[in-house]
Structure 1
Amino acid sequence: MPRVIILGGMGKIGRSIAADLLAHTNAHIMLTGRTALRGDRQQSPLGSRSRFLCLDLAETDRLTALVDSVDLVIHCAGPFDYRDQRVLQTCLDRRVSYLDVSDNPRFVQQCLALGDRAKAAGITAVVSTGIFPGISNSMVRLGIETLDQAEAVQLNYVVAGSGGAGPTVMRTTFLEIAHPFSGWVQGQWQSIQPYSAPEGVVFPEPYGTAQVYWFSTSEAVTLPQSFPPLHTVITKFGSLPGFYNTLTGLMARLPSGLLQKPWVVETLAALSYQMTQVTDPLTGVGVAMVVQVQGQRCGRSATTTVSFAHPQMIQAVGAGTGSIAQLLLGGQWQKPGVWPVEQALPSDLFQKALAQRNLNVTVRST
């Protein structure tokens, strides 16, 4: 039976991925965390095919030994703003497949730079799996494939409350709004102020129209590289209820450097998480995405809209990463190198994996 290690596996994202793998593969799974567990959870946090190991990623010898003992490593130990490429480099050294749920553009670019090394080792590594990034990247590819030529993409995301995620996701949000980021607009990289340019977007039910704002994501960096005809890639995010957007916008305009201080980020993340625990029972913890791809079809301007919604965002993250892991472990697919999802996963396999999980995306062309 295949063996998988999920680094940072006892967080909500790691456990969601583990649950998906236990449901759709026969893998044995090791979940790591920095804090020891007690009682039965030590041996079986998710059932007889899973176990917990206490591990700090700074323990390089133990990390190498664990990587040596498995067929796949899934890196969930974020925030990735704080991480380097040590785990991926270890996987390449030991010739073990690698996935992560990274959402930091700098981290992603540094991983992609190891692509030639991964090809030489014959190892498949895919970065930024999950939902956004992850499923969203495959939605863009699906939309582009309906056109003769794609010219512009806008990705819109909305999350209700916490989305079922933990404080780590909150930390990531505050780290990403701490400074302007580069956006690919009209064929050139431009400096974008995070949480600016609000726009109302109609999402699938039950979300309806929600406000979204410019937000830095790894897709904004990889999509122009993956599909060179694109002259514009816009990524916008919003929260429900709407007052969270107001608070996030205010945080994005704090004095320069304040959000670079770890204690400030930790404090804001903890407060935000406590607030969502109050509102989650009212709003739910779902997610919706709408991807609009503009271009040409049969010599005429055309737009394809690809939509997705799920009542449990954290479960959707597990499905996004779990589906790629399932394909790798089952030997159905591999592609040596280091790839973003849209370059790695063919659309037919993407749709098949979602269907196995009773999920689907809606494609509408005009």
Structure 2
Amino acid sequence: MNTVLVLGGYGGFGARLSRRLSEDGWRVLVAGRSFAKAKRLAAELPGAEPLVADRNADLTPLLRQHRPLLLIDAAGPFQGSGYRVAEACIAERVHYIDLADARAFVCAIGDLDERARAAGVAVISGASSVPALSGAVLAELARGMDKVRSVAMSICASNQVTAGASVATAILSYVGKPFRVWKGGMWQEGIGWRRLRRDVYAVEGRRPLRRWVALADVPDYELVPESLPGRPSVIFRAGPEAAFQVFGLWLLSWLVSWGWVDSLTGLSRWLLPLQRLTTGRVSGRSAMAVEVKGICRGVPTIRRWTLVAEDGCGPEVPTLAAQLLARDIRQGLLPVGARPAGDLLRVASFRELFAALSIKDEITTTRYEPLYRRILGQGLDRLPGPVRAMHDAIGDGGAAGTATVVRGKSGPARLIGAVMRFPPEGTHRVHVTFEEENGAERWTRRFSDRSFSSAMSQQGKFLVERFGPLRFFFSLLPDSSGLKMVMAKWSLLGIPLPLSLAPRSLASETGVEGAFHFDVSITLPLIGLIVHYKGRLALDSTEPRMSPAPAMN
């Protein structure tokens, strides 16, 4: 009988994993700092043995004494942690797996690769919902795609199982903190627990879940762009069942961003009592979703994987990857070396474990027609290639170039320009990021260190561009030289305003020598010029050509 040592083996996830490993025929060493807790769980598992172990101490004597085939670290937290446990396993030729989801910890595990190979052991980090399960799902969703443009993931957990101290510390470590997010073909800044949204999780035969989730920091931000064709943008959100908790952490995140507190990790010991006080009625339902948008055989395509877990089965999901990898190690199927777990498993293997739980997952595929194509129809195909490519958008994209800006000189013009965050006068490096979601697009234009954005959608035959409470309705006029936008009407807070008082916006887009050229001038009656900016953006020449989406039967 093979032996596995589970650090944190009696904890929230560790206890579930210990039981699973015992059912698989492992001799489980239930290890942790509390011998009493380890002993209680070990008494429930055939052949299990309790041990006292601290992941921050030297584990070498323990490994030499018990000689396990495998050690699984389910203790954490891994944020800010070193590789002391993994290094001890390598030195004693013991295979190593952890359930880490800490970005830096998981992504740098490859630094141990040479030593792990020399010792003939597998060292695997991130054997949890991310990046192990998410990586398996992404490989399935991206199969056959020419290019993946964006990846959006989210997890919502039931409050039926409360977070332990390690999980609380992990979450609070990034709330209100900046971290890198790959968007629009460049690294941009995200803030932990911002960008709240309400996601819907639906699979056939189950009641949909609607939960609030917020931006979370995970290893997938680093791993996914390099693993899929097209270097897609990545966004990951997470949240508990109770909306009150999501919004409470969102409010606290501002204290960190404003510098009033350095970090919220000191609140970790209060998070569990607070969760118990604010949980209220719980459903025992959890969910996870992964969505990719890209080009498949020339057609804009959206593929979405959704998992819904009921009857309190959600907390089993983070333990399944470690169980599957442990099986592979026991059978000698896992290559030696150190690596993240994102590309080691298949969805089919997870489904074999889902079958014994109240868990259902499914994949849906839909074809998507980009915003400008919905408005212009075949007129989009008459545009020059660079202009057409810019507007045949799905998911996320970006382009970079240069621009010159001229600003109005009058007092009112300067005030309006400041309110709208228009760039200062001069020559700028420019980067434009566009995000497509639910049929609408948000364009963020960054001129040097100044950025402003607008949201675009369709209303009938018009393209509607929204700046805060203002909405501008444009007629789009395409021809072989490019695209012109002519304002037809405008409104404030949905109230129509006289066209005679509208800003005079002259906007044109052309394609010259493989580049996208833009020229936008905005003036106001009685005030004159507000801003005039023009320039060029370089597009990716390897962008797959998209065909109009065929009609769905």
Equivalent residue number for residue 52 of structure 1: 50
Q: Give the equivalent residue in structure 1 for 2:185.
A: 187
- Contact 2:245–2:275 (CA under 8 A) maintained in structure 1: no
CA deviations 1:224-275 (Å, max 9, x no partner) are 2333522301111222221111111122122437354xxx634x22332113
1:46-102 Cα shifts (integer Å, max 9, x gaps): 322212101123134324425x61011101121111421111112222222211011
**Aligned residue for 2:239?**
238
Structure 1 residues 93-102 or 315-324, which shifts more? 315-324
SS in 2 for 1:328: helix
CA contact (8 A) 1:131 1:316 kept: yes
Which position in structure 1 is the counterpart of 2:261? 258
| Structure 1: unaligned runs, 5 residues or longer | none
- Distance, in Å, in 2 between the alignment partners of 1:210 and 1:60 is 41
For 1:213, the equivalent position in structure 2 comes to 214
Counterparts in 2 of 1:151-166, with a 5 A limit? Answer: 151-161=149-159, 163-166=161-164
Deviation per CA, 1:140-192: give whole Å up to 9, x if none: 22211253432221101112226443232112110121521111112222111
The one-letter code sitting in structure 2 at the alignment partner of 1:110 is A
Distance in 1, matches of 2:365 and 2:38, equals 54
In structure 2, C-alpha distance between the alignment counterparts of 1:254 and 1:162, rounded to whole Å:
29
Give the letter aligned to residue 120 of structure 2: G
Task: State the partner residue of 1:201.
Answer: 199
Asked if the contact 2:147/2:230 (under 8 Å) is kept, the reply is yes
Tell me which residue corresponds to 2:298: 299
Q: How does 1:13-32 map to 2 (within 5 A)?
A: 13-23=13-23, 25-32=24-31
- Three-state SS of the structure 2 residue aligned to 1:254 is helix
The separation in 2 between residues aligned to 1:13 and 1:200, in whole angstroms, is 27
Asked if the contact 1:214/1:235 (under 8 Å) is kept, the reply is yes
Please name the residue that 2:339 is paired with. 339
Aligned twin of 1:171: 169
Where does residue 320 of structure 2 map in the other structure?
A: 319
Quote the residue 2:117 is aligned against.
Answer: 119
In the TM superposition, what is the alpha-carbon distance from 1:206 to its structure 2 partner? 4.2
Identify which of structures 1 and 2 has the higher relative contact order when contacts are C-alpha pairs closer than 8 Å and 6+ apart. Answer: 1
Q: Structure 1's 2 and 152: CA in aligned 2 closer, same or farther, altered over 3 A?
A: same
Structure-2 change in CA distance of 1:195 and 1:178 (3 Å): closer
Letter in 2 for 1:258: V
Percent identity between the aligned chains?
22
The residue type paired with residue 342 of structure 1 is G
Alpha-carbon separation, structure 2, partners of 1:171 and 1:328: 30
Q: 1:197 to 1:82 in 2, by over 3 A?
A: closer
Instruction: Give 5+ residue unaligned stretches, structure 2.
Output: 367-553
Contact 1:160 1:280 in 2 (8 A): no
In 1, the alpha carbon distance for the partners of 2:365 and 2:339 equals 28
Q: Which residue in the other structure is 2:440 paired with?
A: none
Whether the 8 Å CA contact 1:162–1:273 is kept in 2: the answer is no
**Greater strand share, structure number:** 2
**Does the 8 A contact of 1:319 with 1:357 survive in 2?**
no
SS at match of 2:187: strand
1:88 aligned to 2:86?
A: yes
- Which residue of the partner structure matches residue 10 of structure 1? 10
Structure 1 or 2, whichever has the larger Rg, is 2
* 3-state SS in 2 of match to 1:172: helix
Contact kept, 8 Å, 2:321 with 2:350, in 1: the verdict is: no
- Conserved? CA contact 1:224–1:233, under 8 Å: yes
Q: What SS is found at the alignment partner of 1:253?
A: helix
Between stretches 73-82 and 114-123, larger displacement belongs to: 114-123
Kindly state the Cα deviation for residue 360 of structure 1 after the two structures are TM-superposed: 4.7
**1:138-157, aligned counterparts within 5 Å?**
138-145=136-143, 147-157=145-155
Kindly tell me: are residues 347 and 319 of structure 1, through their superposed partners in 2, closer, same or farther at Cα, counting changes over 3 Å? closer
Distance 2:353 2:363 in 1: 17
Q: How much does 1:39 deviate?
A: 10
Give SS of 2:195's match: coil
For 1:321-346, what per-residue CA distance to the aligned partner results, in whole angstroms no more than 9, with x for missing partners?
Answer: 22222232244x31222222222224
Aligned to 1:224: 225
The count of corresponding residues between Structure 1 and Structure 2 is: 358
Does residue 290 of the first structure (1) align with residue 284 of the second (2)? no
Does the CA contact (< 8 Å) of 1:164 and 1:285 recur in 2?
Answer: no
Q: Please give the alpha-carbon distance, in whole angstroms, between the structure 2 residues aligned to 1:222 and 1:39.
A: 35
How far did residue 2 of structure 1 move?
0.9
Aligned residues of 2:320 and 2:350 also touching (Cα < 8 A): no
C-alpha separation in 1, matches of 2:150 and 2:361: 20
1:102 paired to 2:100 = yes
Distance in 2, matches of 1:170 and 1:249, equals 15
Alpha carbons of 1:167 and 1:5: their partners in 2 closer, same or farther (altered >3 Å)? same
Structure 1 residues 183 and 171, CA gap change in structure 2 (3 angstroms):
same
Greater CA deviation, 131-140 or 70-79?
131-140
Distance, in Å, in 1 between the alignment partners of 2:277 and 2:307 is 26
